[in-house]
A and B are shown apart, each in its own frame.
Chain A
Amino acid sequence: MSSFTEKIKKVDPRDAKLGMAHFYVAFIGLFIGGMAGLLQTLVRSGQYTLPAGIGYYQLLTLHGVVLALVMTTYFIMGFQLVAVSRTAGTLSNKQRTTAWIGFWLMTIGTVMAAVMILLNEASVLYTFYAPLQAHALFYVGLTLVIAGSWLGSAAIIMAYVAWRKQNPGQPSPLLTFMALVNTLMWVVATIGVASTVLFQLLPWSLGIVERVDVAVSRTLFWYFGHPLVYFWLLPAYMAWYVVVPKIIGGKIFSDSLARLSFILFLLFSIPVGFHHQLMEPGIDAAWKFLQVVLTFLVIIPSLMTAFSLFATFETFGRSKGATGLFGWLKELPWGDARFLIPFIGMLSFIPGGAGGIINASNQMNQVVHNTIWVTGHFHLTVATAVILTFFGISYWLIPHLTGRTLTKAMNKLAILQGVLWAIGMTFMSGAMHAAGLLGAPRRSAFSEYGGAAQAAEWIPYQIAQAVGGSILFIAIILVLYIFINLAFFAPKGEEEFPVGEAANLAEKAPMVLENWKLWLGIVVLLIAFAYTIPFIDLIENAPIGSKGYKLW
């Protein structure tokens, strides 16, 4: 395919509409969740009290549910659907209808859960740990969100299958392949959370059963909870591997390496949930350690990704005549928001990933578990690396889908937004890491802990978090302003959906990478290996279950 036809290849308007529907919800979620986040940092500074009887934990639940579960899922579903449409061809009517039904199911579920949170019937945080018991409609809402996401997933799987049938013996387009891997991971992972919600929490909140097994519920949640973070990360990796090389004018370092790293994520991001439960009773220390080892293996594909990206940058810079060890850095398009914003995200993933290794290191987790260090960690990973990349994607994808263009003025504003984010997050996440090491807990309203000297040391860091949080909120306002401009007001025109080509086109990706019986088989084996015995142990040695509590 020549670069000219590649350039004008557009997402079909019907698929664009589907994508935009997802993005509207995602960006409304960003506003609500970001507002909640700002208020939380203000409360924790000790200088501000919430008005109108709003509870801190009600706000925290809203922040977590709306950003971690709703905003991300909508953005990812929308992005993956249009990426498949762009690279594997326009969706069939059946695929598109399936995705639309999924969208509406998710939206009904989101509204139900949000209403329950606003009515203060579900201040259980986004992890909804039993035996805190939310209103049944909160659980029904979450179930609908997951069920809807399965329909969106089905549309992607159907599109992939159709493409493979029409192109026998050919490796699928790279973006479609990646979207499929992330979709498969999501489906396998959400079985865990769907199980605990449908079979444990929902019947219990309706009063059909009196008691719930707390440890089983937490284990099913974290079976989902860790692949959830990779579900956020992989779309960012799609942009880093495939889109960013095209934006800078370079090539994808290696198509096969990119596919291989995605397969490794599929294999190793699920059987690792115990590293979120390292401090818990009831799970054998040896099985915890086994999952820690599997967690370490999932570091490999991220390190492969880092190599691949910087190899792309260096190769491109040298092709422009750059010399010296770091001369190639000068050749990169620093003035292009579509490159700069994801690049800031990539940089933040270096400390973010290193912090993740600390958290996963078994006994070292004892130093940081449930301290605000952890909050600092995932605000570098999901709330910077991932979300900045999503913003970077939006700055070309929204105008591509709406038939508009990113103007120079908007590009400048986008760069300002990215820089503000980096500054705000340095304050907020940096102060969270530092306070966490001193022992400050996460998920707590402002407290002086009876005047304890140790707690007094945390307060300056909490003020720094509020400063960072305020800067971040200004950045969010800018994002929303740019989003509205690109969706409704930017000048009409053609904005490219950049899809990179591999440096070595002659090298065909090995077809074994598309052998899903093989990979899903290994996924099932690894999950069975990591979970079967400790899970049976939890059930066989289960205590009498817990009744529900509403303590807010």
Chain B
Amino acid sequence: MHLDEKIWLFLSFGMIMIFMIFTGYQALALGYGPPSHKETIDPQKVDQTAPFNEPGIKQIGENEYEVVMTLQIFSFTPMDIEVPAGSTVHFTLTSKDVVHGFQVADTNINAMVMPGHIQKITQKFDEPGEYLVLCNEYCGAGHQAMSTTITVK
């Protein structure tokens, strides 16, 4: 093997090891891993199953909120959420029909919401403003109209 080739392979492996270590440390030690909640639900009985029988926003601590939300063609329930700046919001999500995506522009909120599964994701909102919430998985003819807002005051 050529010397250049050895140097190149050493750098390649080194770079990849560094990526793995950083990603792994963040995901497993700091808890930044992607949303992977494992509870399930009967997709046809979402309205009758707690907590989704009462979708909405609830204050659960100082600057801490829980949002229970259902996604269905082509809307979110509840719509147009408001929280004070500096709030941490825990979202609990499920779908009443097909696969949807839950994305909030300019934040790291991004999760697949699948029928039969409950998904959870948490985000702290520091900057005031109106954030666009949209479905980012194709769900039918009205997919591009599936959006709402989160207003941070």
Q: Closest Cβ of chain B: how far from A257's Cβ, in Å?
A: 8
Stretch at the interface among A11-19, A30-38, A176-184, A283-291: A283-291
Chain B residue, CB-CB nearest to A129: B99
Contacts of B44 in A (CB 8 A): 544, 547
* Docked-complex contact A452 and B12, CB < 8 angstroms: no
Contacts of B131 in A (CB 8 A): 454
Q: B98's contact among A131, A438, A444, A455, by CB below 8 Å, is which?
A: A131
* Docked-complex contact A441 and B34, CB < 8 angstroms: no
Contact A443:B110 (CB < 8 A) given known A454-B131, A549-B98, A551-B73: no
* Docked-complex contact B105 and A454, CB < 8 angstroms: yes
Report the bound CA distance from A445 to B134 in whole Å.
13
Contacts of A364 in B (CB 8 A): 23
* Docked-complex contact A546 and B40, CB < 8 angstroms: no
Chain B residue, CB-CB nearest to A283: B36
* Docked-complex contact A444 and B97, CB < 8 angstroms: no
Total interface residues in chain B, CB < 8 Å: 65
Contacts of B99 in A (CB 8 A): 129, 131-132, 214
Report the bound CA distance from A57 to B143 in whole Å.
10
Q: B134's contact among A57, A300, A441, by CB below 8 Å, is which?
A: A441
Question: For the complex, is A108 an interface residue (Cβ under 8 Å from B)?
Answer: no
Question: For the complex, is A281 an interface residue (Cβ under 8 Å from B)?
Answer: yes
Q: A444's contact among B37, B108, B113, B143, by CB below 8 Å, is which?
A: B143
Report the bound CA distance from A17 to B108 in whole Å.
53
Report the bound CA distance from A370 to B40 in whole Å.
23
Contact A544:B27 (CB < 8 A) given known A55-B141, A371-B136: no
Stretch at the interface among A85-93, A303-311, A389-397, A512-520: A303-311
Question: For the complex, is A442 an interface residue (Cβ under 8 Å from B)?
Answer: yes
Contacts of B35 in A (CB 8 A): 279, 281, 366
Q: Closest Cβ of chain A: how far from B108's Cβ, in Å?
A: 5
Question: For the complex, is A278 an interface residue (Cβ under 8 Å from B)?
Answer: yes
Contacts of A132 in B (CB 8 A): 98-99, 138-140
Report the bound CA distance from A445 to B139 in whole Å.
12
Q: A543's contact among B103, B116, B130, B134, by CB below 8 Å, is which?
A: B116
Cβ-Cβ contact count across A and B, 8 Å cutoff:
213
Report the bound CA distance from A321 to B103 in whole Å.
56
Interface string of B100-120 (1 = CB under 8 A from A): 010101101111111111110
Contacts of A167 in B (CB 8 A): none
Contact A551:B141 (CB < 8 A) given known A300-B13, A439-B132: yes
Question: For the complex, is B24 an interface residue (Cβ under 8 Å from A)?
Answer: yes
Report the bound CA distance from A543 to B95 in whole Å.
13
Interface string of A441-476 (1 = CB under 8 A from B): 111111101101111000000000000000000000
Contacts of B140 in A (CB 8 A): 57, 132, 549, 551-552
Question: For the complex, is B137 an interface residue (Cβ under 8 Å from A)?
Answer: yes
* Docked-complex contact A131 and B97, CB < 8 angstroms: yes
Contacts of B33 in A (CB 8 A): 285, 288-289, 362-363
Contacts of B27 in A (CB 8 A): 285, 289, 362-363
Contacts of B144 in A (CB 8 A): 56, 444-447
Contacts of A307 in B (CB 8 A): 4-5, 8-9
Report the bound CA distance from A158 to B101 in whole Å.
45
Report the bound CA distance from A279 to B35 in whole Å.
6
Report the bound CA distance from A180 to B50 in whole Å.
54
Q: B145's contact among A129, A284, A369, A447, by CB below 8 Å, is which?
A: A447
Contact A131:B115 (CB < 8 A) given known A304-B9, A369-B110, A438-B105: yes
Contacts of B12 in A (CB 8 A): 299-300, 303-304
Question: For the complex, is A344 an interface residue (Cβ under 8 Å from B)?
Answer: no
Question: For the complex, is B88 an interface residue (Cβ under 8 Å from A)?
Answer: no
Q: A285's contact among B36, B110, B138, B149, by CB below 8 Å, is which?
A: B36
Contacts of A445 in B (CB 8 A): 143-144
* Docked-complex contact B36 and A452, CB < 8 angstroms: no
Q: Closest Cβ of chain B: how far from A436's Cβ, in Å?
A: 10
Question: For the complex, is A545 an interface residue (Cβ under 8 Å from B)?
Answer: yes
Q: Closest Cβ of chain B: how far from A290's Cβ, in Å?
A: 10
Chain B residue, CB-CB nearest to A302: B12
Chain B residue, CB-CB nearest to A44: B144
In the complex, which of the residues A218, A286, A363 has the most CB atoms of chain B within 10 Å of its own CB atom? Answer: A363
* Docked-complex contact B23 and A362, CB < 8 angstroms: yes
Contacts of A57 in B (CB 8 A): 138, 140-141, 143
Report the bound CA distance from A128 to B14 in whole Å.
39
Contacts of A446 in B (CB 8 A): 144
* Docked-complex contact B4 and A552, CB < 8 angstroms: no
Contact A281:B130 (CB < 8 A) given known A289-B24, A543-B43: no
* Docked-complex contact A367 and B108, CB < 8 angstroms: yes
* Docked-complex contact B147 and A449, CB < 8 angstroms: yes
Contacts of B141 in A (CB 8 A): 55, 57, 123, 551-552
Question: For the complex, is A65 an interface residue (Cβ under 8 Å from B)?
Answer: no
* Docked-complex contact A370 and B37, CB < 8 angstroms: no
Report the bound CA distance from A454 to B104 in whole Å.
10
Question: For the complex, is A215 an interface residue (Cβ under 8 Å from B)?
Answer: yes
Chain B residue, CB-CB nearest to A455: B132
Interface string of B33-74 (1 = CB under 8 A from A): 111111111111000000000000000000000000000010
Contacts of B36 in A (CB 8 A): 280-285, 288
Report the bound CA distance from A70 to B74 in whole Å.
31
Q: A281's contact among B42, B119, B135, by CB below 8 Å, is which?
A: B119
Question: For the complex, is A406 an interface residue (Cβ under 8 Å from B)?
Answer: no
Contacts of B103 in A (CB 8 A): 370-371, 439, 441
**4 tightest A-B contacts by CB?**
A551-B140, A543-B116, A439-B105, A543-B40
Interface CB pairs A-B, < 8 A, 20: A57-B141, A125-B138, A214-B99, A257-B5, A277-B112, A279-B34, A281-B38, A282-B117, A289-B27, A311-B5, A357-B19, A366-B110, A441-B136, A445-B143, A453-B130, A543-B42, A543-B115, A544-B44, A551-B73, A551-B140
> Could you tell me which B residues sit within 8 Å of A by CB distance?
2, 4-5, 8-9, 12-13, 16, 19-20, 23-24, 26-28, 32-44, 73, 97-99, 101, 103, 105-106, 108-119, 130-132, 134-145, 147, 149
- For the complex with contacts A452-B132, A455-B132, 8 further pairs of A-B residues with Cβ separation under 8 Å are A281-B117, A285-B33, A300-B12, A300-B16, A357-B19, A447-B145, A452-B130, A551-B141
